[in-house]
Structure 1
Amino acid sequence: MENKGNPNKEDEEIENKKSSSEEENLKLQIKFGGQTIRLNTSNHNTVADLKFLLLSHTNVLPRGQKLIFKGKVLNDSDTLGACDLHNGSKIMLIASQGLHQGEGPLQKNSPAIYQKTQVEEHIQIYSYRRSLVTKTRGERWKATGVIGLSESRLKAIPDAVWEWGSFARVLDLSNNCIHDIPAKIGCLKYIQKLVLNSNGLLDDSISWQGLTEMKGLTYLSLDQNQLTTLPSSLGALTYLEQLHVASNKLANLPSEIGLLTRLEILKVNNNRITVIPPSLGDCSSLIEVDMSSNLLAELPETFGNLKILKALHLNNNGLKSLPSNLFKKCVQLSTLDLHGTIITIDILRQVEGWEDFDRRRCSKLKKQLEFHAGGSAEFDEGADKN
């Protein structure tokens, strides 16, 4: 009679597999900076893998992490299982100074950039309040086309701006405490440069509908605010040539950024950006891009479409490699900052087009030396030599 198998034995095998799977999974507790980071990983992963996993939680680059378990420093090449780690194991993380990425927004403690004496403050406030409502000031705005109201302790945009702003080309409201940019701002049809830095602006503080009515806007700066996202309507600012959104809390960029085909300078450094949309490759006028101090692990291949890109700042990110066509297609690239990444000079030399890029870089350096700018002939823009 045929033996159809032992049900008890099959149950035992299933239980053994389940038990084996549970043994492979590790729940670890990482002690760092007075906090506990709980991670799930596998005992087959290496210590180096664990460090890269900790990157997004701590902003500390893998080469700046020292992991200690039971008084012993863990080696990168060892598997977690070989380190005698088990569920609930507690590991201490010590970070080296200067090896951080995604440092986050710079916090300002007061609207003013520098401190003044009490007498100076009173004089400035009195002079400003008196002159703000005078016709003379409005006429000066009209004559120059510049409305300069930075460091004026404003909590709202003054009515005088709406009255005289139709003649202005530049509106600078930086370093104040303005928490509302209303839809009414769209009436300033001729504004070309708008500066809203350091106002503590939140996502819902800005009427993007109003901003998109400013059809001639070529320069927009929102540095050092509290923004976590940029809306899709950003793509409507098709005349924009410079966009500055550094030192905020941005987690991503909208795909509609690719509609900004006139954009020449993009600065989104010191944010929390993890992924760059491939559509950025459609911004064919880009000359300079600064994405330093974010949480980037890779760049899209479409970066190769930025044919006239000259400067790319990527320092303090978790990048392991560059787009394979970057050097080959970005034929004007001469500045590449990779400080604080794990990309080495050996990795760069394997990228197609490296020799041409290196010649351009050296040529630029030679010109700087002729103007006594100083420097070295060796590649010193961030990539380790080994």
Structure 2
Amino acid sequence: MEAGGGGDATTASDSIKVKIQFGGRSIPVEISVDSTVKNLKSTLQPLTNVLPRGQKLICKGKVLEDEMTLKSLGITNGSKIMLMASQGLHQGSGPLKKEVPAKKELERVQMNTIIPMVTRENKAKAAGPNPVQRWKSTGVVALSEHGLKAIPEEVYGLRSFVRVLDLSRNSIQEIPDKINLLSSIQKLFLNANNLVDGSLSWKGLESLKSLTILSLSHNSLSELPPAVGALTSLRQLQVENNDLISLPSEIELLTELQILKVNNNRINRIPDSIGGCISLVEVDLSSNLLVELPETVGNLKDLKALYLSNNGLHSLPRTLFKTCGQLSILDLHGTEVTMDLLRQFEGWEDFDTRRRLKHQKQLDFRVTSSAEFDEGADKS
């Protein structure tokens, strides 16, 4: 299948509008006629979530070479260009994520029909005649997959007795101010609900000073507000599989944070303040829209695992291997970072030694038995 060229001749302006055919969609792009094909691919990256090296552009049956200009190729206003993407070179979730809510909605419908009938009958037997009393005595309120649309009032009535609240995989649409009544809560799981921006009362959440784990994954949040910095006891923050485009600079206040998972979002920039999260051990930034990392990542001296796959990264902080002396897991699959570049970084040899020792201890190691580094960096 080929997309033909055509349209009006180029005007006096340097800019032209072309139509990119990709995934059953037509994406309009305005770009200078003097731009190279490589420039066009970079422009398409955030629009299609396909890394430039995974893009093949075709016009009038001809594959467009990276170094050629659009003008020299005869690309004019209205030209149609077909984009073919190589498998495995997608990043983030981007515009293609629009199909996900339908799937999630189907899962919720099933959850609200079949699952609740099973859980309400069987779990009621397991819980005994008075589950509230059991919650009070154990401090654990387990309500995942209960088809809930709101937090039961009985939960708020327990107040400081609640230490763990699991509301995952429900259809809860609002976390109100009175969540602050659970003043001693340590772990809060809200993943896979109907949560969007504005449905979470951060005014209520920021008062939960004992909270160590907050899971908001698999929702539809596009931002984390500055108020997240008030949760200074947090050790684990999970916001993967949302629609985040950035992280607040106040994240630096989370000095006890050990695990940060924000993979599968649309994040295009990590704030310099990330360097203030000095207790971080594991960071997952994979499948976002990142093209660079701040040098302050080198401040994370306790960092052991850094997941960066499926991003548009060309390089890494130069001090990463030198200052992150415990780093032993580095996932670079689906990025544009090369082996030649990594070998130039100070501290590479020590990192490579740690990496080898780490994988030798694992039965399901990801590297081959050879001496090759196989964490996703291109060898050329």
How high is the TM-score relative to the length of structure 2? 0.89
Indicate the percent of aligned positions where both proteins have the same amino acid.
57
User: How far apart in 1 are the matches of 2:11 and 2:218?
Assistant: 47
Q: What amino acid maps onto 1:153 in structure 2?
A: G
Q: 1:372 to 1:268 in 2, by over 3 A?
A: closer
Unaligned runs of 5+ in 2: 1-9
- Secondary structure of 2:342's partner? helix
After TM superposition, list the pairs within 5 Å mapping 1:1-386 onto structure 2: 22=12, 24-104=14-94, 107=101, 108-110=104-106, 122-126=117-121, 136-368=130-362, 371=363, 373=365, 375-376=367-368, 377-386=371-380
Q: 1:139 to 1:145 in 2, by over 3 A?
A: same
Q: 1:241 to 1:308 in 2, by over 3 A?
A: same
Q: 1:144 to 1:226 in 2, by over 3 A?
A: same
**Offset at 1:94?**
1.4
What is the root-mean-square deviation of aligned Cα atoms in Å? 2.4
Q: Deviations over 1:351-380 (max 9, x none)?
A: 222222111111212222xx5757423211
**Offset at 1:151?**
0.2
Native 8 Å contact 1:111 1:151 kept in 2: no
User: How far apart in 1 are the matches of 2:143 and 2:48?
Assistant: 38
Q: Deviations over 1:240-299 (max 9, x none)?
A: 000000000011111111110111000000001011110011100001000100001111
Q: Deviations over 1:147-181 (max 9, x none)?
A: 00000000111111012242121000000011010
User: How far apart in 1 are the matches of 2:83 and 2:295?
Assistant: 34
User: How far apart in 2 are the matches of 1:123 and 1:345?
Assistant: 53
Q: What amino acid maps onto 2:195 in structure 1?
A: L
Q: What amino acid maps onto 1:48 in structure 2?
A: K
Q: What amino acid maps onto 2:235 in structure 1?
A: E
User: How far apart in 1 are the matches of 2:317 and 2:11?
Assistant: 36
User: How far apart in 1 are the matches of 2:314 and 2:365?
Assistant: 31
- Secondary structure of 1:204's partner? coil
Q: 1:164 to 1:131 in 2, by over 3 A?
A: farther
- Secondary structure of 2:283's partner? strand
**Residue in structure 1 matched with residue 4 of structure 2 by the alignment:** none
User: How far apart in 2 are the matches of 1:26 and 1:149?
Assistant: 55
User: How far apart in 1 are the matches of 2:316 and 2:34?
Assistant: 28
How high is the TM-score relative to the length of structure 1? 0.88
Native 8 Å contact 1:235 1:256 kept in 2: yes
User: How far apart in 2 are the matches of 1:121 and 1:316?
Assistant: 37
Q: Deviations over 1:288-317 (max 9, x none)?
A: 000100001111111111111111000001
Q: Which moved more, 1:282-291 or 1:95-104?
A: 95-104
**Residue in structure 2 matched with residue 4 of structure 1 by the alignment:** none
